[in-house]
Amino acid sequence: MALSEDALYACYRRMEKPLYNVLYRWLWQPQECQDTIHDAFMRVWEKRARVDATRLDKLVWTTALNLARNRLRWRGLWRFAEPDEGATAADDGPLETTERWQSDQRLRAALATLPRAMRQVLLLSEFGGLGVAEIAEVLGIPTGTVGSRKHQALARLRAQLNEETR
């Protein structure tokens, strides 16, 4: 059954926040995150005739993660167009902006020490709110692998953050 417009908008309302939180910890640019989410939903809409509405969430996650990966690849090619390191998630005041920037930098540095596979699982579970089975489906890996990667990633991230705050 083809995807209806209402189902797409309902999905957007449901998934915008978790998607944004995952993508922000990957791209670290609010506008780029919003653009990626928008592009992902447009891609899904273009394929609406072939989209199974029961698997919509998975398709949106997969599409958004692929688009984010492409954006990071482009950044690698266009190194001179480095993202604004000071970009923050919201239009906060100066104090909040500074605090956000500091906490972003701390988390960004800690996440950067994790292998990519572990980082993906961690982001989807902690910021995307996905369960082990859902992550396994989105990433196409066994649930046991998701569990072990998540456990290791959390332990390493905590250790890294504690080291920095000491």
Contacts of 161 by beta carbon, 8 Å cutoff, 6+ apart: 106, 107, 110
Among 17, 47, 73, 151, binds another protein (CB under 8 A): 17
Residues 25-54, interacting with another protein (CB under 8 A): 30-31, 33-34, 37-38, 41-42, 45
Q: Could you give the dihedral angle defined by the CA atoms of residues 97, 102, 108 and 111, in that order, rounded to the nearest 10 degrees?
A: -130
Residues 143, 148: Cα–Cα separation, whole Å: 9
Identity of the amino acid at 17 = K
Return the number of the residue (115 or 142) whose C-beta is nearest another protein: 115
Q: Choose one: 77-85, 132-140, 142-150, 154-162; the region binding another protein (CB under 8 A).
A: 154-162
Task: Report, in Å, the least distance between residue 161 CB and another protein.
Answer: 5
Number of amino acids touching another protein (CB under 8 A): 32
Among 104, 89, 106, smallest CA distance to 157 is for 106
Among 1, 6, 13, 82, binds another protein (CB under 8 A): 13
Among 127, 139, 149, 153, binds another protein (CB under 8 A): 127
Task: Report, in Å, the least distance between residue 62 CB and another protein.
Answer: 18
Task: Give the number of C-alpha atoms closer than 13 A to the C-alpha of residue 166, restricted to the C-beta side.
Answer: 7
87 binds another protein (CB under 8 A): no
Contacts of 12 by beta carbon, 8 Å cutoff, 6+ apart: 41
What is Dmax (Cα atoms) for the chain?
55
Confirm if 143 and 124 have CB atoms less than 8 A apart.
Answer: no
98 binds another protein (CB under 8 A): no
57 binds another protein (CB under 8 A): no
Residues 63-82, interacting with another protein (CB under 8 A): none
